[in-house]
């Protein structure tokens, strides 16, 4: 009988891979792609199975498991961590589909990796037994490394009227990849465009996004706690994991060098002797801890409700979005302080700090993780304001 690894063991496996990720980080960025050697190492460590049902050999490690594994990987490389985070959350979404659809993915291949795009940038035509779909989906992180995709599609009836917003499961063999990801940071995430031309999607490989947002999932396996987790909360909070790891990586790098690096044009032989630097390091560390504590609080909310079989109310769900945005903002502020401490050397091409800075700032602008809307929906929920500015809560 195979023993399911504990969350602590999964984090230890991710931590053990950090030297490999650091070794490849510059090449990952230059090639705009994570090499198969690294992807295989993550797969062999089981870190793409964090959210796969135990029925298929997965670990069902919950929201906290997804968060902590991606944070540990990000201490080695941001792009690799982002891919792992997105694969794991898309594997979670796949596990909300009917078991017949899950069997198509994980039953056929327990090591299957799913990526996806929620936005319904496509069209559909209702046909017997399903839909025919054409579309282009930006930006599909991990596109080179997945065998399936979950994609947003407006579902139509026989007269062509849109009657629902769907999420559909599509095999990679039905899709083309257009290489479109040319960006300042997170270059290795392969967040390219997926293209479908008149492909068939059977009914059973479709779920309703509005229903999922309210906790009405299609899986028949109602006793599996992880797949009772709040839908949007999971999709949102998973984006914080890479940020936390990047923040820790920046802090460790600057602290390790502060005892040797002088402060130019001053009498300080080392940065660590400066009270000003001491205060800045403390402030950056506190901001990273603040981000972590908010993320852990949000993960605990998600996992607690899932274990109890209850669906969190609007205040809790919007608070998860606010925690996400607040964690991202604090991490970015911490990294900025650390670059101030380390100085112009931070921007040398050979310095990992400039890559961490770019990766974190690009990832931190993801629309669902950005603080603006997140704070607004939380404030509205606290005040009882019923105005809706986004369905994603």
Task: Give the pLDDT confidence score for residue 369 in this predicted structure.
Answer: 87
129: left (phi over 0), alpha (psi -120 to 50) or beta: left
Q: Domain locations in the chain?
A: 7-111, 114-213, 231-383
d(CA 391, CA 117): 16
Average pLDDT over every residue of 137-164: 97
- Please give the structure tokens belonging to residue 19: 């030297």
Reduced to 3 states (helix: H, G, I; strand: E, B; else coil), residue 152 is strand
- 3-state SS of the chain: helix, strand, coil percent to 5? 55, 15, 30
pTM reported for the whole predicted model: 0.96
87-140: pLDDT as tens digits = 999 999 999 999 999 999 999 999 999 999 999 999 999 999 999 999 999 999
Backbone φ and ψ of 193, nearest 5°:
-95, 130
Instruction: Tell which CATH architecture fits domain 231-383.
Output: Up-down Bundle (1.20)
| Diameter over CA atoms, the chain | 79
Has residue 1 got a pLDDT over 60?
A: no
Task: Give the pLDDT confidence score for residue 157 in this predicted structure.
Answer: 97
The fourth-level CATH superfamily of domain 114-213 is Butyryl-CoA Dehydrogenase, subunit A, domain 2 (2.40.110.10)
d(CA 242, CA 233): 16
Has residue 86 got a pLDDT over 60?
A: yes
* Cβ atoms of residues 17 and 344 within 8 Å: no
Average pLDDT over every residue of 160-182: 97
204-233: pLDDT as tens digits = 999 999 999 999 999 999 999 999 999 999
Task: Give the pLDDT confidence score for residue 3 in this predicted structure.
Answer: 87
Reduced to 3 states (helix: H, G, I; strand: E, B; else coil), residue 177 is strand
* Cβ atoms of residues 248 and 75 within 8 Å: yes
Instruction: Tell which CATH architecture fits domain 7-111.
Output: Orthogonal Bundle (1.10)
d(CA 81, CA 98): 29
Task: Give the pLDDT confidence score for residue 371 in this predicted structure.
Answer: 86
């Amino acid at each position: 009988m195979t023993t399911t690894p504990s969350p602590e063991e999964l984090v230890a496996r991710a931590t053990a891979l950090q030297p490999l990720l650091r070794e490849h980080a510059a090449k990952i960025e230059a090639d705009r792609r994570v090499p198969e050697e690294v992807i295989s190492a993550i797969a062999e460590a089981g870190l793409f199975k964090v959210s796969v049902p135990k029925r298929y050999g997965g670990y069902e490690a919950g929201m906290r498991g997804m968060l902590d594994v991606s944070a540990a990987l990000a201490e080695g490389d941001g792009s690799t961590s982002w891919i792992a985070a997105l694969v794991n959350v898309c594997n979670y979404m796949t596990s909300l589909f009917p078991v017949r659809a899950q069997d198509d993915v994980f039953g056929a291949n327990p090591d299957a990796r799913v990526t996806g795009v929620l936005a319904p940038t496509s069209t559909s035509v209702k046909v017997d037994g399903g839909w025919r779909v054409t579309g282009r989906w930006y930006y599909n992180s991990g596109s080179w490394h997945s065998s399936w995709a979950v994609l947003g599609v407006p579902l139509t009836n026989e007269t062509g009227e849109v009657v629902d917003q769907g999420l559909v499961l599509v095999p990679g063999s039905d899709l083309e990849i257009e290489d479109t990801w040319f960006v300042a940071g997170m270059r290795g995430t392969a967040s390219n465009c997926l293209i479908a031309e008149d492909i068939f999607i059977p009914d059973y490989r479709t779920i309703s996004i509005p229903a999922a947002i309210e906790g009405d999932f299609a899986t028949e396996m109602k006793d599996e706690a992880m797949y009772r987790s709040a839908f949007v909360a999971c999709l949102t909070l998973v984006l914080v994991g890479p940020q936390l790891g990047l923040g820790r990586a920046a802090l460790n790098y600057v602290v390790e060098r502060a005892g040797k690096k002088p402060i130019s044009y001053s009498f300080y032989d080392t940065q660590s002797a400066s009270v000003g630097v001491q205060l800045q390091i403390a402030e950056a560390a506190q901001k990273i801890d603040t981000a972590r504590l908010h993320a852990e609080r949000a993960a605990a909310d998600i996992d607690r409700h899932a274990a109890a079989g209850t669906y969190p109310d609007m205040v809790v769900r919007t608070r998860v979005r606010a925690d996400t945005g607040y964690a991202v903002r604090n991490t970015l502020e911490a990294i900025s302080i650390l670059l101030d401490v380390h100085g112009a050397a931070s921007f040398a091409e050979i310095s990992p700090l400039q890559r961490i800075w770019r990766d974190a700032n690009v990832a931190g602008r993801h629309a669902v993780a950005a603080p603006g809307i997140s704070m607004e929906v939380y404030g509205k929920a606290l005040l009882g304001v019923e105005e809706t500015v986004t369905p994603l809560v």
